[in-house]
Chains A and B, each alone.
Chain A
Amino acid sequence: MTAAPPRPTPASPRPYRFPAFERRELSNGVRLVIAPVTKLPVVSIVAVIDAGAALDPAGSEGLALLTARALVEGAAGLTERAERLGTELDVDADWDTALLNLTVLSERTDEALGLLGEILTGPKFPEREIERLKGERLAEILQLRAEPRGLADEMLGRFVYASDARYSHPEGGSEVSISRISRNDVLEFYEARYAPGRVTLIVVGDVAAGDVETMAEAALGGWSKGSGAPKAPAPDTVARQTRAVHIVTKADAPQSELRVGQVGVPRSHPDYFAITIMNAVLGGLFSSRINLNLREKHGYTYGANSSFDWRRAAGPFSVSSAVQSDVTDKALAEVFREIMRIRTEPVSDDERSLATSYLDGVFPIKYETASQIATALANLVIYDYPADFYDQYRPRVRAVTAAEILRAAQQHLDPSRMQVVVVGEPDAIAGPIERLGLGPVATYDDTGRPL
């Protein structure tokens, strides 16, 4: 064994700025956000369309997702043409918007934008393909019944929100709502929600802004259509008022998949930075309290974390872990102990500075690729951030104090209203969980029907 050289001290940080970007607008109102980044000959494009799942009509949940997926179907060989350019057409709808993502070698930017124009402006929506996509979505829903992680996430949404809130239903719809959707519904949704004034095109990579504008004008400038309905309203987020435990049956499960959660806060909340640091200390980092407790101290799990699901309206806060079945009650007790503790004592300076220096320092690493930068710029559009949001991010993170963290925990975490979801074997876990006294314990089958 050899003597160790001393632990090094850091040099001084080298400067970094989030890539400069500029905004332009096409003649028909399609907005452009362009960030030239010359690193490798690669370009990433994101089209953001104000046509997310929060706009699904009640009873037709899943329509936004189905419409987005159906955009690329029908026109002859669209998928193959895109793939011969080396890019996959990835179109999906999340809660807030529909998103089309692609990455190509920069020499193919023009052709890629041309394809994107065809997709957005001239979808065919053939009946057969719509029915097939509905079938594929039904297969996803069916498979989820046997997949504990996805099932636990879905059930948390169902139990945290009141049943008439859009967020209590799956983003992509349920068996019942999907079965009801017709081609005509897809056409109507497209006509109402896809229009030049509701589209922002983000282009990042080895390309000049002027060239992008010319190419985009050729691809999309001829698309004329009313400006579409106004910006999406935020969905209702009615919470249940009392804590309860929901055991969703997975027979003979060797692990319990846990979720402990409540309605969180909208992305635009002024406490965003305090909440982010508070969550990092609680369960957002590997070295967070919940992970060190459940994994490194007790060995109950391979991993445990907490997160706020940021949406335009208040998405859920949740703690997630998968623990071996026979310690389910002990793990839940530790989760609640950590939630109580972060609401009662200020975090130490060591913990606060670990979280702030991590989020401050890792900032450039989060934006290494054109695709990561394009996604960040998409968030700027989706959440209406000010133009200097990314320049202000690091100073705002560094400024968060222990008092603000404590206040964020007290205001935004309410253990008396949290819902507990456990996907597991009820025979092994229900008794010990009842003895914890968290609240009424109910058992369900894998579709969420009470047993």
Chain B
Amino acid sequence: MRIPIETFTLDNGLRVTLSEDHTAPIVAVNLWYHVGSANERAGRTGFAHLFEHMLFQGSENVGSNEHFELIQRAGGTLNGSTWLDRTNYYETVPSHQFALALWLEADRMGRLLPAMTQQKLDTQRDVVKNERRWSVDNQPYGTWWERIPALAFPPTHPFHHSLIGSMEDLTAASLDDVRAFFSTYYTPDNAVLTIAGDFDPAEAKSLVERYFGPIKRGRGKPPLPDLSLPARFDSPPREVVPDDVRVPRVYITFRSPTYGSDGYYAASVAAAVLGLKKGSRLHRSLVRDQQLASEASAFTFDLAKGADLLIVDVTARPGISADNLERAVVAEIDRFMLEGASEAEVERAVALIETEFVSSLQSAGDRADKLSMFATYLGDPSRINTHVDRFRAVTASEVARFARERLGPAHRATLVYQVKVGDLVGVDA
């Protein structure tokens, strides 16, 4: 299996990847901007994501909410998402509609600001505040994904602060911020465009040149500070959170090699040995054998700069205390450090990762997103064709070495959710 790839760069710096597949009349258009919450200035947490919402509010030649309507009327799907160091926008459309998706992306990259109004910003600010309530504040354990980066990255580090943002900072965001953010970061030389599926490459090139070619290059973006971090903590951080939950949960987080780096693959396999699916160590030991946990998993965050995070996530069975759960989780990690992994465990982990990766490439949208990711993070979309080989090359001894060197007590940031006193009713002790 080999995904075909053709790349070129426009004079304004926009990097483009084309990947043909004519098995169905579908085209995916996918744009990654190399900006995320890490680029926010102090006092504006959550702005990168709020700005993503503004990109669906129209541009010079597109009305408010018309972007969604035009793509849906064309029979397409679309969305966008914001992450610590990138923001993506994507459409999958019937192939005869693919010029429309490109044109819409180009109109907002080139001509967003004429459509921006205070009223649109105010409404989207309310929508985003409700997104925060929905996904963080009113969800059991919902604060985990802002607490873990806050624990694992020091306060001055750009990955430390909340991606969804604080209510105060969202309130403070202004139209001036929108203008400044747009002209600094939403420029062709800070973006990667991928087109995957059933299109004619000559036509695609000419459309890309026509729609995106006239957009001016940016004036450069402020560099991020040095993001690299030691693997060990000076003093291993620990936070205990009483929450409106019915059973305790324990997260143990490690700084791990960045996504796609030489060390990443062994780290990712180690995470899978520990906690990918039901045959993993944590599940077998804590859920099946000892019956202390109801769920157990481990995964990497897949950050490509500074340090990635490897996160172990275990939820108690009713009646099991946070202390007992934490002791059992720590014992499993200690055992992994001592024993390493067997060949069979590595084989299981790699086989699962391979099926998942190959299977995801069936979808034009997923294929385009991965090509954009490899182009943005690693400067090379063709990494899509060697990614599985790199996992296959991981040996049990590399996994054992990673466990031994990177999972010790000085490498652990611990976050514990406890059942808030008063919510104990119904717990079978």
Known interface pairs A104-B355, A146-B246. Does A10 touch B362 (Cβ–Cβ under 8 Å)?
no
Q: Are the CB atoms of A5 and B211 closer together than 8 Å?
A: yes
Proximity bits, A90-113, B CB within 8 Å = 1, else 0 = 000000000000011100000000
Known interface pairs A12-B96, A146-B245. Does A364 touch B291 (Cβ–Cβ under 8 Å)?
no
Q: How far is the CA of A114 from the CA of B47 in the complex (A)?
A: 52
Give the contact-size bracket for chain B. 35 or more
Q: How far is the CA of A252 from the CA of B422 in the complex (A)?
A: 13
Q: How far is the CA of A431 from the CA of B138 in the complex (A)?
A: 22
Q: Are the CB atoms of A142 and B127 closer together than 8 Å?
A: no
Chain B residues 53-91 with CB under 8 Å of chain A are 60-61, 64-65, 68-69, 72-77
Q: A153 an interface residue at 8 Å Cβ cutoff?
A: no
Q: B238 an interface residue at 8 Å Cβ cutoff?
A: no
Surface stretch bound by B, among A163-171, A351-359, A399-407, A408-416: A351-359
Q: Give me 13 A-to-B residue pairs in the complex whose CB atoms sit less than 8 angstroms apart, sorted by A's number.
A: A2-B110, A2-B215, A7-B100, A10-B100, A80-B279, A80-B348, A135-B317, A139-B294, A143-B140, A146-B245, A301-B127, A302-B131, A361-B93
Q: Are the CB atoms of A83 and B348 closer together than 8 Å?
A: yes
Q: Are the CB atoms of A370 and B362 closer together than 8 Å?
A: yes
Known interface pairs A4-B60, A301-B130. Does A105 touch B355 (Cβ–Cβ under 8 Å)?
yes
Q: Are the CB atoms of A40 and B358 closer together than 8 Å?
A: yes
Q: How far is the CA of A146 from the CA of B21 in the complex (A)?
A: 46
Q: A442 an interface residue at 8 Å Cβ cutoff?
A: no
Q: A161 an interface residue at 8 Å Cβ cutoff?
A: no
Q: Are the CB atoms of B138 and A296 closer together than 8 Å?
A: no
B contact residues vs A (CB 8 Å cutoff): 1, 21, 23-26, 60-61, 64-65, 68-69, 72-77, 92-97, 99-100, 103, 106-107, 110-111, 114, 122-131, 133-135, 137-140, 198, 210-211, 214-216, 244-247, 277-279, 287-288, 291, 294, 315, 317-318, 344, 347-348, 351-352, 354-355, 358-359, 361-364, 423, 426-428
Q: Which of A89, A142, A323, A365 contacts B318 (CB 8 A)?
A: A142
Q: Which of A103, A255, A286 contacts B138 (CB 8 A)?
A: A255
Q: A429 an interface residue at 8 Å Cβ cutoff?
A: no
Q: Which of B26, B95, B133, B288 contacts A368 (CB 8 A)?
A: B26
Chain A residues 102-149 with CB under 8 Å of chain B are 103-105, 132, 135-136, 138-140, 142-143, 145-148
Q: A435 an interface residue at 8 Å Cβ cutoff?
A: no
Residues on the B chain within 8 Å of A145, using CB: 246, 426
Q: How far is the CA of A360 from the CA of B97 in the complex (A)?
A: 13
Closest partner residue, chain B, to A82 (CB atom): B279
Q: How far is the CA of A103 from the CA of B360 in the complex (A)?
A: 11
Residues on the B chain within 8 Å of A132, using CB: 288, 291
Q: How far is the CA of A324 from the CA of B127 in the complex (A)?
A: 10
Residues on the B chain within 8 Å of A353, using CB: 73
Q: How far is the CB of A286 from chain B (nearest CB, A)?
A: 5
Q: How far is the CB of B38 from chain A (nearest CB, A)?
A: 23
Q: How far is the CA of A1 from the CA of B77 in the complex (A)?
A: 29
Q: How far is the CA of A16 from the CA of B26 in the complex (A)?
A: 10
Q: How far is the CA of A13 from the CA of B96 in the complex (A)?
A: 5
Chain A residues 294-352 with CB under 8 Å of chain B are 295-302, 322-324
Q: How far is the CB of B416 from chain A (nearest CB, A)?
A: 16
Q: Are the CB atoms of A302 and B73 closer together than 8 Å?
A: no
Residues on the B chain within 8 Å of A253, using CB: 138
Residues on the B chain within 8 Å of A298, using CB: 123, 126
Residues on the A chain within 8 Å of B427, using CB: 142
Residues on the A chain within 8 Å of B68, using CB: 286-287
Chain A residues 1-30 with CB under 8 Å of chain B are 1-5, 7-8, 10-16
Q: How far is the CA of A11 from the CA of B351 in the complex (A)?
A: 42
Q: How far is the CA of A302 from the CA of B93 in the complex (A)?
A: 25
Known interface pairs A40-B1, A287-B65. Does A361 touch B97 (Cβ–Cβ under 8 Å)?
yes
Q: Are the CB atoms of B96 and A371 closer together than 8 Å?
A: no
Q: How far is the CA of A141 from the CA of B119 in the complex (A)?
A: 43
Known interface pairs A142-B427, A147-B140, A358-B73. Does A86 touch B351 (Cβ–Cβ under 8 Å)?
yes
Q: How far is the CA of A83 from the CA of B364 in the complex (A)?
A: 26
Closest partner residue, chain B, to A145 (CB atom): B246
Q: Are the CB atoms of B291 and A255 closer together than 8 Å?
A: no
Q: Are the CB atoms of B363 and A368 closer together than 8 Å?
A: yes
Q: Are the CB atoms of B75 and A299 closer together than 8 Å?
A: no
Q: Are the CB atoms of A14 and B95 closer together than 8 Å?
A: yes
Residues on the A chain within 8 Å of B97, using CB: 10, 361
Q: How far is the CB of A309 from chain B (nearest CB, A)?
A: 21
Q: Which of B76, B107, B122 contacts A361 (CB 8 A)?
A: B76
Q: Which of A82, A142, A362 contacts B426 (CB 8 A)?
A: A142
Q: How far is the CB of B133 from chain A (nearest CB, A)?
A: 4
Q: How far is the CA of A238 from the CA of B89 in the complex (A)?
A: 45
Q: Are the CB atoms of A254 and B133 closer together than 8 Å?
A: yes
Q: How far is the CA of A299 from the CA of B106 in the complex (A)?
A: 27
Q: A162 an interface residue at 8 Å Cβ cutoff?
A: no
Residues on the B chain within 8 Å of A16, using CB: 24-25
Residues on the B chain within 8 Å of A255, using CB: 130, 133-134, 137-138
Q: 3 closest A-B pairs (Cβ-Cβ)? A: A361-B75, A299-B126, A86-B351
Q: Which of B1, B65, B131 contacts A296 (CB 8 A)?
A: B65
